[in-house]
Amino acid sequence: MPNFDESIASDLEALRASGLWRELRTVDSPQGREISIGGEHFLNFSSNDYLGLANSEGLKEASVKALQDFGSGSGASRLICGSLKPHSDLEQRLAEFKGTEAALSYSSGFLASFGSIQALVGPNDISVIDKLVHASIVDGVRLSGAKMRIFKHNDLNSLSEILWWADRQPKGRVLIITESIFSMDGDRAPLREIVELKEKHGAWLMVDEAHGTGLYGQHRRGVIEELGLSERVEVQMGTLGKAIGAAGGYICGSRNLIDYLINKARSFIFSTAPVPASAAAACAGIDMVRSKDGERRCGRLWLRVRQLQEEMTGISQTTQSLSAINPIIIGSEQMAVDASALLRQNHCFVPAIRYPTVARGTARLRLTLSADHTKNDVQLVAGELRELRRLVGSFKPTIEK
């Protein structure tokens, strides 16, 4: 048997050698447009707090109130010790917001996907996923034991071929899973066409709106709302930790779906409920998103997104659809890390994203914008990126399919 320390140390060495080493940086300020690391200030272009709610007064007040009214802990899992009111309030609000019969909250988006997939499909079923879906989806399908089939990124022909193949398999469930806005590329899935395909084949569809919720559609419910597909998507998944400004995950759908998950989703059943303050913050976050203020914040975000797209014309191919996520593909893992370090020297915090988050050789900077960024902030980081490109030579224009 290998020696514990030596074995782990040699794996770590391999990570370092291939530019894949990751480490935590302690931020000694709240999350926001500006963060402080080791007493040094950085303009923050790394967060998914798209609407700037994570450190906003409304959410903080709601958390404090729940802390005072319901305590700091939640005691046990909700099926064991009773379900605290902030959690049922949150779920009622979620269902209202999304316009679904019911909702279920989880302690994270990761666990919402992971546990729900494992509940919905098993070894006699098939799950068909986009090549670029989040790790929580891949892991959920793996754990479920369902046959996993991967379609080329956003490629309807590839999806269709797999669905024709699935039609010829022994009877079982077929669950298609994709994201509305892809987390590392910022592009969007052709959801309308995917819905049509899944209906034609009698399959089910789960859509991860982690980066859509709070930002798209008339009521900012997500891309599903924008496209008018709410009635036609069986499982709507999302996180409370991005535009909503808190933490946790959710599934929205029919009453039967939610009852089914309460009975079958192991990541829900066997885990202590999130603290009441977290549920209350999420609830306030949803209220904020739905409010006039939420609408204004969203408007400010899109202004900055358009500005960045204009500033980056001819420098990097940003996605043409409106998205707060701007990938700047560098290619080599080490060069992406170096580029991020260079930007940090100039007080811009733009993280390098590498394998296994993205495919090998497609390492990138992932620049995210928030409603709180100013015109100046965007000008400044665009200037830094132009300078960087001069040093690097070029940014790769294409994304991996």
Ligand X SMILES: *Cc1c(COP(=O)(O)O)cnc(C)c1O
Question: Cα separation of 130 and 194, whole Å?
Answer: 11
Tell me: does residue 144 bind ligand X (CB under 6 A): no
The token duo for 155 is 């490629």
User: C-beta of 3: minimal distance to ligand X in Å?
Assistant: 34
Which stretch, 205-213, 293-301, 312-320, 326-334, contacts ligand X (CB under 6 A)?
Answer: 205-213
Is 149 in contact with 166 (CB distance < 8 Å)? yes
- From 47, 74, 118, 136, residue interacting with ligand X (rule: CB under 6 A): 136
Interacting positions 102-131 with ligand X (CB under 6 A): 108-110, 113
Which candidate in 183, 278, 316, 370 is catalytic?
183
Question: Cα separation of 103 and 91, whole Å?
Answer: 5
Amino acid identity of residue 267, one-letter, is: S
User: C-beta of 111: minimal distance to ligand X in Å?
Assistant: 7
Alpha-helical (H) ranges within 99-222 are 109-120, 135-144, 156-167, 191-201
The token duo for 254 is 């029919």
Question: Cα separation of 371 and 50, whole Å?
Answer: 6
User: C-beta of 95: minimal distance to ligand X in Å?
Assistant: 18
What SS3 state is found at 236? strand
User: C-beta of 301: minimal distance to ligand X in Å?
Assistant: 17
Picking from 343, 88, 371, the residue whose alpha carbon sits closest to that of residue 243 is: 371
Instruction: List phi, psi (to 5°) of 39.
Output: 80, -5
Binding mask 214-253 for ligand X (x = CB under 6 A): -------------------------x-x-------x----
Which candidate in 98, 153, 198, 242 is catalytic?
242
Catalytic residue check, 242: yes
Tell me: does residue 153 bind ligand X (CB under 6 A): no
Tell me: does residue 210 bind ligand X (CB under 6 A): yes
Tell me: does residue 179 bind ligand X (CB under 6 A): yes
**Looking at beta carbons only, is 277 or 388 nearer to ligand X?**
277
Catalytic residue check, 183: yes
Which candidate in 98, 211, 373, 396 is catalytic?
211
Tell me: does residue 134 bind ligand X (CB under 6 A): yes
Dihedral sign, Cα of residue 226, residue 231, residue 236, residue 242: positive
User: C-beta of 133: minimal distance to ligand X in Å?
Assistant: 7
The token duo for 398 is 């294409």
Picking from 38, 18, 25, the residue whose alpha carbon sits closest to that of residue 336 is: 18
Active site residues: 183, 211, 242
Q: Contact residues for ligand X (CB under 6 A)?
A: 108-110, 113, 134, 136, 179, 183, 208, 210-211, 239, 241, 249
